[in-house]
Amino acid sequence: MMDGSSNHTDHPVNGMKAISKELTMTSAFIAVGAVVRIGMDNLALVAPTPIYGVLLKIGLSETLAFISGFLYGPIVGFMCGAFIIVISDFFTYPGSWTPFIASIIGLIGIGGWIIRRITGKAQPSYRTLVASAIVLTLMSEVLQNAWVAVFYNTPFIPTMISGIPSLITALINNTVFFTLLTPKIIKLIQYKNSGRTHANSEIA
């Protein structure tokens, strides 16, 4: 058990199986998120300059990090978000921004865990997901623009204003995917886990 959020059984074998399933699912999230981000990055490179920054905000990185954190806790959630950025940047254009952006997206994974702790529910409501998408996206975009302002020594307010189109795109993207994908993925994983746990208890 990585953080106490998962329902592992006391039996050592079942505990190892649960950890193995967490690692497998998180690896799948990272792979899917990285592939989608690589594809959108490559598309952005050949797109007209005005929509370059907009296309970079379309993807599943934040959604999958949030789901990982919600299901498996803050450490796994952070690692999922961070590794999506690190791996995808490795195959596109890594730079000094990579660890900072990776850490920021990792925070969204921690946000997923916080939301579950606050609500105390195994399945987030529609309103919770909308609010989470808005708050976490605003946090992410403000931190990313703050990094740009500091690293490139540009005024913070103009940097934020220039990032408004990207912010709007990120808000739409994350709200749509948070509300459409998150409930289905969480429900599917929890259903499979509960089914396997029930089968193991019957065998035991």
The percentage of the chain sitting over the pLDDT mark of 90, rounded to a whole number, equals 74
* pLDDT attached to residue 159: 93
* pLDDT attached to residue 12: 57
pLDDT of 59-114, one tens digit each?
A: 999 999 999 999 999 999 999 999 999 999 999 989 999 999 999 999 999 999 99
Confidence of residue 14 (pLDDT cuts 50, 70, 90): low
Residue 109 lies in a domain: yes
What is the rounded distance in angstroms from the CA atom of residue 8 to the CA atom of residue 123? 18
pLDDT above 50 (res 204): no
* pLDDT attached to residue 199: 42
* pLDDT attached to residue 30: 98
The larger pLDDT score, comparing residue 45 to residue 179, is at 179
Q: What is the mean pLDDT of residues 35-51?
A: 91
Number of separate domains in the chain: 1
Residue 22 lies in a domain: yes
* pLDDT attached to residue 193: 81
Which residue in the block uniquely carries the two structure tokens 């808005």? Answer: 134
**Contact yes or no for 62/174 (Cβ under 8 A):** yes
Residue 23 lies in a domain: yes
Q: Provide the 10 A C-beta neighbour count for residue 100.
A: 18
- Domain encompassing residue 180: 12-203
What is the rounded distance in angstroms from the CA atom of residue 83 to the CA atom of residue 35? 12
What is the rounded distance in angstroms from the CA atom of residue 10 to the CA atom of residue 82? 31
Please state which of the ranges 6-10, 21-25, 113-117 shows the lowest mean pLDDT.
6-10
Domain of residue 194, CATH code: 1.10.1760.20
Q: What is the mean pLDDT of residues 180-203?
A: 75
The larger pLDDT score, comparing residue 38 to residue 4, is at 38
**Contact yes or no for 69/132 (Cβ under 8 A):** no
Residue 6 lies in a domain: no
**Strand, helix or coil at 134?**
helix
Residue 5 lies in a domain: no
* Tokens (6 digits) for 69: 């954190």
Residue 195 lies in a domain: yes
What number of CA atoms fall less than 13 Å from residue 202's CA on the CB side?
6
* pLDDT attached to residue 93: 86
The percentage of the chain sitting over the pLDDT mark of 70, rounded to a whole number, equals 88
Which residues does 180 contact at the CB level (< 8 Å), separation at least 6?
Answer: none
What is the rounded distance in angstroms from the CA atom of residue 158 to the CA atom of residue 10? 55
* pLDDT attached to residue 202: 40
pLDDT above 90 (res 158): yes
